[in-house]
Structure 1
């Protein structure tokens, strides 16, 4: 059975304890803190060992999971890649210390004049450099379909080159359809061997401006995405990324209810 989470973008003002309580009270299984964005959850590189132990105790006591720690680590730029690798190694330790099994990263913007093949090599080599440490700490690093990496084929090329069990994909189901030239089916089929985390959010597919919309009212076919994942026996998280949107008391219950409706409809179809 798939599980549900939300990112701290929904409630950047809340502490970790408050986020965990919110998840429990609204029926979510997990939360996804976004590090490095001035959110109030405290899951940051600056947290000392005692703070990390206290945060982990809060998670354990709540029975809500930190399903993923989201970062902005990115690797396409050869000028900054070593610093990003160093940062990733520190984030791996942070994720392990607070009990988050996954770490979200980006490919990053590709510089002017840099060929796609070279960028694929850069990202793959960077991920390979951190893969063993991630595996040793029990962390799966999930490269998101995002920024200059919305085309699923480019992400798949990185995965194929790295070929490491600790390196996987965070399938943001919006970006490949909106900006990567893919359909929902083609994105899924290309990425399927590596999908370990999923971001959900609905909106328009206009490239000039993204308008966030309630799931089921926009252009992103969440029912189809969930149907495809269900056929894979995916049991990971669908994590809502709702940035600068409505108050969390409005959108968190509503979006979860719609996702649960889709799962129920799929179960009925399967039983028919």
Structure 2
């Protein structure tokens, strides 16, 4: 398995510093948070996109994902949601990224209604994603927290260009064990987001291995299934200012994941 980290845990650093952090700490790839305050976002022109590609390529670091914030199960008209996802797909394609991350965002909608919105919108963007060589991945999150929730939507969509991100915190909060999540998501799985927290009530991000999340069990399940994808560390410092600074944790986090991978081999 290959290791990446998300820029969610970092301040809006220039791209050269992000690349340097990845290279110096032994990561193979980066998930780029794409929003207007970040150095990478859908408003970049062609020259700016090319410069980002060159900076990552020169260090041999993969741009894994454009982490967008579209909510495909949210109330409202389809048009703005589809436009947001398609813009992220175009950005990902231009950067050479394999994936675009989207959220469910169904809120308090009835399950069937939220599912129907997500299914319709994901099916609508699938042809464009296929044309651009990108997969749109629905993250286990908020209204669709478990692997079973996301698999229910993706099974109805039935298109290879639409898949899943397994966020281990949210499936754990849903009461789902890794041994149940993986079979549910396996047909759709793009990659796995790892993180750690103290408890369901205390979700300030911690260094990997310092909290309660079932990271060892997750990696064991993946290894037993001979899954050979990406593990991406998402550290939600941005919304938890009291958390430790992420750059200082990167090396130890990579070593922890490498140890778990070795023990599960």
- The whole-number CA distance in structure 2 between the counterparts of 1:165 and 1:102 is 12
Shift of 1:16: 1.3
For 1:100-249, what aligned pairs fall within 5 Å after superposition? 100-111=97-108, 114-178=109-173, 180-206=174-200, 208-244=201-237, 245-249=243-247
2:75–2:106: 8 Å Cα contact kept in structure 1? no
Shift of 1:187: 1.6
Shift of 1:209: 3.4
- The whole-number CA distance in structure 2 between the counterparts of 1:144 and 1:80 is 21
Shift of 1:37: 6.1
For 1:16-55, what aligned pairs fall within 5 Å after superposition? 16-36=15-35, 38-39=37-38, 42-55=39-52
2:165–2:193: 8 Å Cα contact kept in structure 1? yes
- The whole-number CA distance in structure 2 between the counterparts of 1:54 and 1:211 is 35
For residue 105 of structure 2, give the secondary structure of its aligned residue in structure 1.
coil
Aligned CA RMSD, in angstroms, stands at 1.4
TM-score, normalized by length of structure 2?
0.93
For residue 238 of structure 1, give the secondary structure of its aligned residue in structure 2.
strand
TM-score, normalized by length of structure 1?
0.91
- The whole-number CA distance in structure 2 between the counterparts of 1:185 and 1:78 is 33
Shift of 1:25: 0.7
For 1:61-80, what aligned pairs fall within 5 Å after superposition? 61-80=58-77
- The whole-number CA distance in structure 2 between the counterparts of 1:139 and 1:127 is 13
Give per-residue Cα distances to partners, 1:9-35, cap 9 Å, x unaligned. Answer: 222232112111110111000111101
Structure 2 residue aligned with 1:5: 4
Deviating more after overlay: 252-261 vs 13-22: 13-22
Does 2:250 match 1:257? no
1:74–1:81: 8 Å Cα contact kept in structure 2? no
Structure 2 residues not aligned, in runs of 5+: 238-242
2:35–2:68: 8 Å Cα contact kept in structure 1? yes
1:10–1:248: 8 Å Cα contact kept in structure 2? yes
- The whole-number CA distance in structure 2 between the counterparts of 1:94 and 1:213 is 31
Structure 1 residue aligned with 2:240: none
For residue 68 of structure 1, give the secondary structure of its aligned residue in structure 2.
strand
1:110–1:148: 8 Å Cα contact kept in structure 2? yes
- The whole-number CA distance in structure 2 between the counterparts of 1:259 and 1:11 is 20
Report the CA distance shift for 1:217/1:10 in structure 2 as closer, same or farther (over 3 A): same
Structure 2 residue aligned with 1:270: none
The runs of at least 4 consecutive aligned structure 1 residues that moved more than 4 Å come to none
Shift of 1:104: 0.6
